[in-house]
Structure 1
Amino acid sequence: MEHRKGKTIVPTMWGTMNLFPVLALVFIVLRLYCRRWLKKATTGYLDDYVLIFSWILMVITSTIGLMLAKHGVGTAIVEGDEIIVEPEVMHALLFWTANLLLFGINAIAFSKVSWFITLIRLVTNRWQKVVLWVLMVFSTAALFAASTLGYYQCHFEPDGTGSKKKRCLNNRFAIIFSFVVAIYSTVLEFALSAVPAYVVWKLPLKRTTKIGIVCATSVGFVSAMMGALRTKAYYDHLFPLGKLPEMYSLGCVIMFAVLEVCTTIIAASIPFLRPLVKKMAKAYDEDDLSWP
């Protein structure tokens, strides 16, 4: 039967997965500029290094995702009423999707670790720091476990005849565990996005300053929304259990995972740009004063 292409997200994948990593890198550079040169901070760089590492993992994820797009990921291939996967594409999908899960989920994990470290530095009460530490360790361990399951879920072993036999872990357990971790990660991200607003609003600052800081940190909600969209696409890709993987929704999973990491990096960088904003505002005022 002749195959035909259905809906596709490939052009959107190419646009977003090339633009947003560059945008995230710009914010990382601005963050480092503000911390190291404007504020001349001499300590507290751990979250910077973790953020840079998550960006590197995200770029690898984006590269693998765009390469998979050439194999049909992001485009629904329809045969009658059934969505199918070309046989020659399956081996490439099994190999590269496993690597994509390893790098992509760890990129999400490390971006969250950086945000956790920043929040731990921001809060003042001991119990708040303890809760954030516990959440960071638990969520990071869960994401690491999900990425490991995704990577080792299927592998090939010699079967004694000169060929290799595919051996897989319990597919149902791996899928359900990864989906539960995705839901947990998204819910946690929404909760963490509200922490800066809660803390800042109790500080003895001007109301306008508080509103400005809260608006700057509210980008974290955008990252949480990307996580929610990734989880929804992951559900469409895998459920009901036992069906063939759906290529369109897999493209959505990859794209929203990259966007989630990029927006987390941006959200984690914006609060550190205040010295640059103040410097620019001061320069603007001086220009006004010197205007004839």
Structure 2
Amino acid sequence: MAVDNWSHQLQAVCYTFLVTAVISTLLRCYVRVRVIKDFGVDDWCMVAALISFILFITCALIGEQHGIGRHLVDLEPEDIEQAVKYWWLCSLWFSTTMIAAKTSIGCFLLRITVRKLDVWILYGVIITTVCTGTVFFFAKLFQCKPISFFWNKNQSGTCLNGDFVIIFTYVYGGFSLITDLMCTILPMVVVWKLNMKRKAKIALIPILAMGCVASAALIVRFSFIKEYKNSDFLWATYGIAIWCTTEQGLAVTAGSLATLRPLLLLFGQKLGISTSGPSVLQDTDQPIASGGRMGNLKGANGSGNKPHSLFSLTTFTRQDDPDSHGGDSEAAYARQDHSDRPSSMDEGVSRLSVPKRIAKVTTFTVNEDRI
């Protein structure tokens, strides 16, 4: 049995993705502002995408009240005009939402990309997204002349040919699909080249590629594009309305979820699931007793009650002999047999048995990129 009213389905999709988009974006902002303290261009773009998406949802819900998703014969002329008007406004907000969301995803991937070729590919993806999205925006804006002729047919005016609109929409969708695939494949290549365990790579790839799941909705939407020419416009294009909403909601939600790894690590540490060492840069001179034991370094890694940093990967300790000269001292030390050297993970520095000397200890920490 055919459905004569799709407005309730559209309403449910709008509210669902509005909630997920707002929550995920707020969590993203919390991570970037409070956890890693690095609010960047990608975050501003995603905030802009969320604002645009909220405006899209507002227009969609108002349009739904006037008749989007219903047959024209069941509507009053005034409701038809208002529904078509808000449908047109939705198409504009759709363009700006996707431009901002995909730009955010591209900028996010630039945070983890170091190879020049990959960087230029991402710049190409961002530029293509902005250019095609801008063209689509203005094509929709000036689809009819005058603009109001799109929803008000009680005046003289013209609109672009329906076949042209359909072909143009397919072309725009094709570019969007290509850029989505590039943003999906590139993280896999980048992560696979990292020096980490295979399990960690497999776990990280889906997180980074999550921002491109909106392409699934895009593929489904392709099957409804031909309905632009349908005379029962508001009812026939229900699929475009629903899947445009889904595509934007997935782009904003998944694009924000991809940045929440530091928050997951923080929760894991709070729950005792994962632990990590502290993050310290310490450069100090300490006397070493004749027994070969080094005194405690105040503020050194793991000592006292100093809170542990979530993002520290590993700590290296270097000992220089001030009586020697640079490389000669290090080379001489490297030739010694340190098999009996005691160590303490709690103190976070190496204990060296060098009697009656002043040792210069420099502790370095390599921090992970906190994306």
TM-score by length of 2: 0.65
Q: Residues of 2 paired with 1:13 and 1:170: CA distance?
A: 27
Q: 2:20 aligns with which of 18, 23, 43?
A: 23
Question: Per the alignment, in what secondary structure is the counterpart of residue 285 of structure 1?
Answer: coil
Tell me, what secondary structure is at the counterpart of 2:157? strand
| Mean Cα deviation higher: 129-138 or 247-256 | 247-256
Per the alignment, residue 267 of structure 2 pairs with 280
CA contact (8 A) 1:139 1:185 kept: yes
Structure 2 partner of 1:81 = none
Q: Give unpaired runs (5+ residues) of structure 2.
A: 149-153, 275-371
Aligned partners of 2:184, 2:232: CA distance in 1, in Å? Answer: 32
- Does the CA contact (< 8 Å) of 2:132 and 2:175 recur in 1? no
Give the structure, 1 or 2, with the largest relative contact order (CA under 8 Å, sep 6 or more).
1
- Asked if 2 retains the 8 angstrom alpha-carbon contact of 1:219 and 1:263, the reply is no
Work out which of the residue numbers 249, 259, 273 in structure 2 matches 1:262: 249
- What are the equivalent positions in structure 2 for 1:103-142 lying under 5 Å apart? 103-142=93-132
* More helix per residue: 1
- The yes-or-no answer on 1:57 pairing with 2:52 is yes
Q: Quote the offset at 1:76 in angstroms.
A: 4.4
Give the deviation of 1:27 after TM superposition.
1.1
For residue 35 of structure 1, the aligned residue among 26, 32, 38 is 32
- Of 206, 220, 223, the match for 1:215: 206
Would you say 1:177 and 2:168 are equivalent positions? yes
Q: State the partner residue of 1:228.
A: 219
2:26 alignment partner AA:
V
Q: What is aligned with 2:140?
A: 150
Contact kept? 2:69, 2:235, Cα under 8 Å = yes
Q: Which shows bigger deviation, 244-253 or 45-54?
A: 244-253
TM-score (normalizing by structure 1): 0.81
Equivalent residues in 2 for 1:85-104, closer than 5 Å: 87-104=77-94
Displacement of 1:86 after TM fit?
6.3
Q: Percent identity?
A: 21
- In 2, Cα distance between equivalents of 1:286 and 1:139: 40
Q: CA deviation digits over 1:151-191, x for unaligned, max 9?
A: 21114389xxxx84223244433332122102321343133
Secondary structure in 2 aligned to 1:182? helix
The structure number with the bigger radius of gyration is 2
CA 70–119 in structure 1, closer or farther in 2 if over 3 Å, else same: same
Q: CA deviation at 1:87?
A: 4.6
Letter in 2 for 1:175: I
Q: Which moved more, 1:105-114 or 1:243-252?
A: 243-252
Range with greater deviation from structure 2 (56-65 or 211-220): 211-220
Q: CA deviation at 1:254?
A: 2.0
